[in-house]
């Protein structure tokens, strides 16, 4: 085995049960033998050298290319061993810390998300085949962190609970105008239009999401209250009673935080309420994971709260409430990955083997980061005035209870893990896709 790589693993893996077979067929054992046994096989010397020098990028790329495999355990089990030894702070070798430090220096250049670049970044991920997303998301196609009010909730139930939770924090009144920035496939916008008779504008840069969201509004006869546009938030002019943004802020980029909140301050009416739901980190500001930035979310960045709150303050807005969702996304990703792997053959038909391995690592790595590292989700409630909302949180719980009663009368269609979602008419309207290649 490459001496450098062996030294790295020996220093890192003090606990756990890891075996690595090198390209010559020699087995090397690491750890104290406790826990689940993970056996990794390195098939090429190129991958061996690359992982030793830059594991954050080269290890997932080696897995994508079939140069790294697991014959016992899997990606998630391997990352568990790594993270339990690293700890939440992420202890790394000196040269890998230096490399991440260099990436930090250039991170602003990697996040120059102009309107045109933002559109291209969105195409890389959100304009993938809608069938791919239907294979692992819930029936409403919510591609963001669910809200597990109870540990035994199904993914469908938890995603519905998320919509209730956000709607309650918005304190929507009938006939309110609502802006949904980064509306995804339209599920939250349609929920708000359906339950509150609010006039909702959902905006997205994804052509696939826009088409499905618009089709769903037609199918559910909600076009009088909900419509969707292909538009950047920077190009809006009207004002709204409520603004919600779920899972979009991660694509804004640290360079544009001030612009984002300045724009929201202009778009939000004086007595309006905004709720921002985004992935964040418990630790200090850092860089985007190299694998995620290159292969999954180009231009993306996960902020620390210390980067977000100053931008809100400078925009003249007030933070009324902050809630941290700690393990909710880990459970969401666990459910997504289980369904993804159950439908892996179909994903391979749509794309190819390399894409399947890339997304397996993406989903497993993301779950690991939320479960054992410093990732979390924050929900920030924002207003212009401190008198806009009631003094206590009781109104949130009261609204959630009322919505839960209404939702239970409608019924929640749960499905068995791994079974494809029952596609609604809008989803069925999506054209059949030809086989694609991974990025």
Q: Last residue of some domain: 82, 105, 128? A: 105
pLDDT digits (tens, 9 = 90+) for 171-208: 999 889 999 999 999 999 999 999 999 999 999 999 99
Report the pLDDT value the prediction gives residue 342, as an integer from 0 to 100. Answer: 98
Q: Both 196 and 340 in a single domain?
A: yes
Report the pLDDT value the prediction gives residue 112, as an integer from 0 to 100. Answer: 57
Q: Both 172 and 288 in a single domain?
A: yes
Report the pLDDT value the prediction gives residue 417, as an integer from 0 to 100. Answer: 37
Residues contacting residue 330 through CB under 8 Å, at least 6 positions apart? 367, 370, 371
Query: For the chain, how long is the longest CA-to-CA vector?
Result: 69
Q: Last residue of some domain: 54, 85, 105? A: 105
Mean residue pLDDT across the chain: 88
Residue 110 lies in a domain: no
Report the pLDDT value the prediction gives residue 98, as an integer from 0 to 100. Answer: 46
269 and 242 in contact (C-beta within 8 Å)?
no
Task: Tell how far CA 375 is from the center of its chain.
Answer: 11
Report the domain count for the chain.
2
Residue 410 lies in a domain: yes
pLDDT over 90, % of the chain: 75
Q: Both 235 and 363 in a single domain?
A: yes
CATH of residue 374's domain is 3.40.50.150
Residue 434 lies in a domain: no
Residue 311 lies in a domain: yes
Q: Both 295 and 407 in a single domain?
A: yes
Pairwise pLDDT comparison (17 vs 433), residue with the higher score:
17
* Strand partners for 29: 19
Q: Both 322 and 244 in a single domain?
A: yes
Strand, coil or helix: what is 227?
strand
User: How far is Cα 167 from Cα 275, in angstroms, rounded to an integer?
Assistant: 9
Pairwise pLDDT comparison (428 vs 136), residue with the higher score:
136
Compute φ and ψ for 220, nearest 5 degrees. Answer: -90, 5
Pairwise pLDDT comparison (419 vs 328), residue with the higher score:
328
pLDDT digits (tens, 9 = 90+) for 7-21: 889 988 999 999 999
User: How far is Cα 278 from Cα 177, in angstroms, rounded to an integer?
Assistant: 22
Q: Both 40 and 18 in a single domain?
A: yes
User: How far is Cα 199 from Cα 226, in angstroms, rounded to an integer?
Assistant: 6
pLDDT digits (tens, 9 = 90+) for 209-235: 999 999 999 999 999 999 999 999 999
Q: What is the DSSP letter of 225?
A: T
Residue 436 lies in a domain: no
Residue carrying structure tokens 């980064």: 182
CATH of residue 23's domain is 3.30.1050
The tokens for 166 are: 């956000």
The tokens for 396 are: 């949130």
Q: Both 222 and 326 in a single domain?
A: yes
Task: Please state which of the ranges 2-16, 158-172, 376-390 shows the lowest mean pLDDT.
Answer: 2-16
pLDDT over 70, % of the chain: 86
Residue 438 lies in a domain: no
- Which whole number is the average pLDDT over 23-45? 97
Query: What's the predicted TM-score (pTM) here?
Result: 0.88
* Strand partners for 281: 304, 375
Pairwise pLDDT comparison (428 vs 339), residue with the higher score:
339
Q: Both 35 and 147 in a single domain?
A: no
Q: Both 231 and 86 in a single domain?
A: no
- Which whole number is the average pLDDT over 116-129? 78
In 295-350, beta strands by DSSP E: 318-325
Q: What is the DSSP letter of 294?
A: I
Residue 135 lies in a domain: yes
Q: Last residue of some domain: 59, 87, 105? A: 105
- Which whole number is the average pLDDT over 65-81? 97
Q: Both 184 and 35 in a single domain?
A: no
- Domain range for 189 is 115-428
Q: Both 49 and 26 in a single domain?
A: yes
Residue 40 lies in a domain: yes
Confidence grade of residue 88 (pLDDT, cut at 50, 70, 90): low
Report the pLDDT value the prediction gives residue 435, as an integer from 0 to 100. Answer: 45
Compute φ and ψ for 429, nearest 5 degrees. Answer: -75, -15
Q: Both 126 and 154 in a single domain?
A: yes
The tokens for 377 are: 């989700």
331 and 148 in contact (C-beta within 8 Å)?
yes
C-alpha torsion 43→48→54→58, nearest 10: -10
Report the pLDDT value the prediction gives residue 288, as an integer from 0 to 100. Answer: 85
Report the pLDDT value the prediction gives residue 298, as an integer from 0 to 100. Answer: 87
């Amino acid at each position: 085995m490459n001496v450098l790589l062996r030294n790295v693993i020996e220093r890192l893996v003090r606990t756990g049960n890891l075996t690595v077979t090198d390209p010559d067929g020699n087995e090397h054992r690491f750890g104290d033998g406790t826990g689940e046994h993970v056996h990794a096989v390195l098939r090429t010397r190129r991958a061996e050298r690359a992982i030793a020098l830059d594991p954050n990028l080269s290890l997932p790329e080696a897995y994508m290319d079939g140069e790294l495999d697991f014959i016992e355990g899997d990606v998630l089990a391997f990352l568990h061993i790594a993270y339990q030894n690293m700890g939440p702070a992420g202890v790394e070798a000196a040269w890998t810390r230096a490399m991440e430090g260099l990436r930090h220096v250039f991170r602003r250049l990697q996040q120059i998300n102009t309107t045109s670049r933002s559109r291209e970044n969105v195409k890389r991920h959100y304009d993938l085949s809608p069938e791919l997303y239907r294979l692992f998301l819930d029936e409403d196609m919510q591609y963001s962190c669910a809200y597990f009010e109870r540990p035994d909730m199904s993914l469908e139930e938890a995603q519905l609970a998320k919509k209730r939770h956000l709607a309650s924090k918005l304190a929507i009144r009938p006939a309110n105008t609502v802006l949904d920035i980064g509306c995804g496939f339209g599920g939250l916008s349609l929920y708000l239009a359906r339950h509150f008779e609010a006039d909702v504008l959902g905006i997205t840069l994804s052509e696939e999401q826009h088409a499905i969201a618009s089709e769903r509004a037609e199918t559910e006869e909600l076009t009088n209250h909900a419509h969707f546009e292909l538009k950047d938030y920077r190009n809006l002019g009207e004002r709204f009673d409520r603004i919600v943004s779920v899972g979009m802020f991660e694509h804004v980029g640290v360079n544009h935080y001030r612009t984002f909140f300045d724009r929201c301050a202009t778009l939000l009416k004086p007595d309006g309420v905004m709720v921002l739901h985004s992935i964040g980190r418990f630790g200090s500001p850092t860089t985007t994971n190299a694998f995620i930035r290159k292969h999954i979310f180009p231009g993306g960045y996960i902020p620390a709260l210390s980067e977000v709150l100053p931008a809100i303050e400078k925009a003249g807005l007030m933070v009324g409430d902050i809630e941290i969702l700690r393990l909710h996304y880990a459970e969401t990703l666990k459910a997504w990955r289980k369904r993804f792997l159950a439908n892996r053959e179909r994903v391979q038909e749509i794309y190819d083997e390399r894409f399947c391995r890339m997304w397996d690592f993406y989903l497993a790595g993301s779950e690991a980061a939320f479960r054992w590292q410093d990732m979390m989700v924050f929900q920030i409630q924002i207003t212009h005035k401190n008198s806009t909302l009631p003094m206590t949180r009781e109104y949130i719980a009261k609204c959630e209870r009322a919505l839960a009663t209404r939702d239970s009368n409608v019924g929640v269609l749960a499905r068995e893990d791994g079974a494809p979602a029952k596609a609604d008419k809008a989803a069925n309207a999506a054209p059949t896709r030809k086989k694609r290649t991974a990025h």
